[in-house]
Amino acid sequence: MTHLKITGMTCESCAPHIETALEQVPGVHAANVSYSNGTAQLDIEPDTPFEALTAAVAALGYRAALADVPASPVSGDKARGDELHIAVIGSGGAAMACALKAVERGARVTLIERGTLGGTCVNIGCVPSKILIRAAHIAHRRRESPFDAGITANPPAIDRAALLVQQQGRVDELRRAKYEGILESAPAITVLHGEARFHDARSLVVKRPGGDERVVTFDRCLIATGASATLPPIPGLADTPYWTSTEALASEAIPARLVVLGSSVVALELAQAFARLGSQVTLLARGTLLSGEDPAIGEAITAAFRTEGVAVLEHTQASRVAHAAGEFVLATAQGELRADRLLLATGRAPNTRGLNLDAAGVAVDAQGAIAIDPGMHTNAPNIYAAGDCTDQPQFVYVAAAAGTRAAINMTGGEAALDLTAMPAVVFTDPQVATVGVTEAEAKQNGLETESRTLTLDNVPRALANFNTRGFIKLVAEAESGRLLGVQAVAPEAGELIQTAALAIRNRMTVQELADQLFPYLTMVEGLKLAAQTFSKDVTKLSCCAG
């Protein structure tokens, strides 16, 4: 890696011009120029003349000089001067975690991104969706709350365009702080913009935005290309201006009528958010809502949605979709549906099709997901994968943990990802939070279980909030009492589930959970109360009884 000090830049737009000029110099594989740091990182051939680099910069009116870069210790299987080179395809949670950990352990990294730095979560997923959901929650509470008898409700005026400016501003801020800025300050990471495909098991071909191609050889490679929304095979659908979550989150207007296809996380979160912001929402579920979870969860969320005016049509599919005169028309067994917008949230597929994985011998399943072991190894030596492009659960925190462990394994360490106590949250209201196994899953694993369900009218915090919708369910091993799983539908259920995850991780019994100290008038106290129901009638206990 060669580092230059660049002087004379006056704004952010100078950097890409210098990058382009440097990459046109014979022998330069990639250039990453930082305006804020006044530096350039170059991946070049050893015999590339320094004079050619300075001349390319000088031709644009700037000046370049060699920069001193302090040496860092190297671990792994190569020594300094012949550093382990890791190629990372993608720049989301898994990619960034891997790149940073690999550099920490002495490797140099080429990070290849075909689009916007930061991946799905910060740009078009977790961050903008949670901002939208929170705004919708505020709108809903201004419209109605359990305290309206004493606090006058005032229906809000929704300015979606203004909300979008606020939303995008925070997205841009986080991308800059957590991705772009970090990469610019990491000399051992070279960012290469372009679309990568495997040439063989040791090299990639990267097609640059201008059409030229670069070959990147590597010692190790991480595939972290994420996933994209899938299009269900409904006649006529492909010819309509349908929304995926990306378009929905970027919309400057709230549609008067919205139909949502889907019954899982994204469908439910966005359906409720748009309903609370003013849309008349109809949700079409092929089966029941959140059908992969304990049945009581779907029943509770369906009831909550219908109470808020969301039309939930279970066991319903669209047989045909048309769009004319600005209106969607969906044919279903329940009759014809009409809407101003149609949101597809029927699942996501791994972004692996264009990688030419066959050339590297990397195997995928029928859905295109890369099969990996707990150490993130693919079936191909020296090639790893992490995140939504794999067969692991599609959560950004799982991806980041996998990326970190992949980097450790790439650089001579030994790390595995244990998902037995993986918490998950659906940001509806009430929220859904789960960890461990359900009763049905435990039975499939040959375990005899005992379970208890505590309704929220037994939780003092919920009573004080005048909001007792939901429940907390604990699943335990019958013989030992060891906690195996927790399912919760409750306001802020996501804030209590990590306590349950720690209890499962530490193999606690329900009695040990019941014996813990929990602060009074918190939702997480519901875990203690639920655990106490295995041995006593909590309705007969005084407040905060131990």
Active-site entry in 96, 98, 121, 523: 121
Catalytic site includes residue 98: no
Nearest to 204 by CA among 282, 115, 122, 89: 89
| 22, 130, 247, 321 from 326: Cα distances, Å | 48, 29, 16, 13
Within 8 A by CB and 6+ apart from 68, the residues are 3
User: Which residues on adjacent β-strands are paired with residue 33?
Assistant: 40
Q: What stretch of H or E contains 207? A: strand 203-207
Catalytic site includes residue 221: no
Catalytic site includes residue 121: yes
SS (H, E, C) 265-293: HHHHHHHHHHHHCCCEEEEECCCCCCCCC
CA distance 79 to 307: 64
Catalytic site includes residue 389: no
User: Which residues on adjacent β-strands are paired with residue 471?
Assistant: 455, 489
Catalytic site includes residue 1: no
Say if strands 280-284 and 257-261 run parallel, antiparallel, or are unpaired.
parallel
| 98, 216, 509 from 513: Cα distances, Å | 35, 53, 6
Active-site entry in 1, 35, 126, 397: 126
How far does the chain reach from its first CA to its final CA, in angstroms? 62
CA distance 320 to 237: 7
CA distance 483 to 89: 39
Active-site entry in 1, 62, 376, 384: 62
For residue 403, the SS3 value is helix
∠ CA 426-431-436, rounded to 5°:
65
Determine if the peptide bond prior to 430 is cis (ω within 30°). Answer: yes
Catalytic site includes residue 126: yes
Q: What stretch of H or E contains 389? A: none
Within 8 A by CB and 6+ apart from 194, the residues are 112, 113, 114, 206, 207, 208, 209, 214
Nearest to 394 by CA among 262, 243, 266: 266
Active-site entry in 1, 14, 35, 397: 14
CA distance 182 to 489: 37
Q: Tell me, rounded to whole angstroms, the distance of Cα 51 from its chain centroid.
A: 45
CA distance 230 to 438: 28
CA distance 374 to 388: 15
What is the biggest distance separating any 2 CA atoms in the chain, rounded to whole angstroms?
Answer: 85
- Residues recognised as catalytic: 9, 11, 14, 62, 121, 126, 543-544
